[in-house]
């Protein structure tokens, strides 16, 4: 949250790239940042491959896009 506060005067949007195995979860991050503006989440399945291993199809790549509300600041 401190990093976001230091950036809000310098940009209109902040994008954070995560996956569904991130801790804290994308929903915890969303709740922490919702006071700064509108949040959009985009998700896409991702085939995670390790050499000589089977596919790991359970990974979901996630983008959290924060559109900063400068009027409310």
The yes-or-no verdict on residue 15 having pLDDT over 80 is yes
pTM for this entry = 0.80
* Contact criterion met (CB below 8 Å) for 3 and 30: no
Map tokens 């006071």 to a residue: 35
For 61, other C-beta atoms within 10 Å of its C-beta total: 14
For the segment 28-65, what is each residue's pLDDT rounded down to a tens digit?
A: 999 999 999 999 999 998 776 666 666 566 789 999 99
């Amino acid at each position: 949250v401190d990093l976001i506060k230091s950036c809000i005067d310098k940009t209109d949007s902040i994008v954070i790239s995560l996956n569904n195995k991130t801790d804290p979860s994308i929903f915890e991050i969303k709740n922490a940042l919702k006071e700064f503006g509108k949040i959009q989440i985009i998700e896409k399945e991702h085939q995670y491959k390790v050499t000589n291993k089977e596919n790991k199809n359970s990974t979901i790549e996630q983008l959290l896009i924060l559109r900063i509300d400068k009027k409310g600041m």
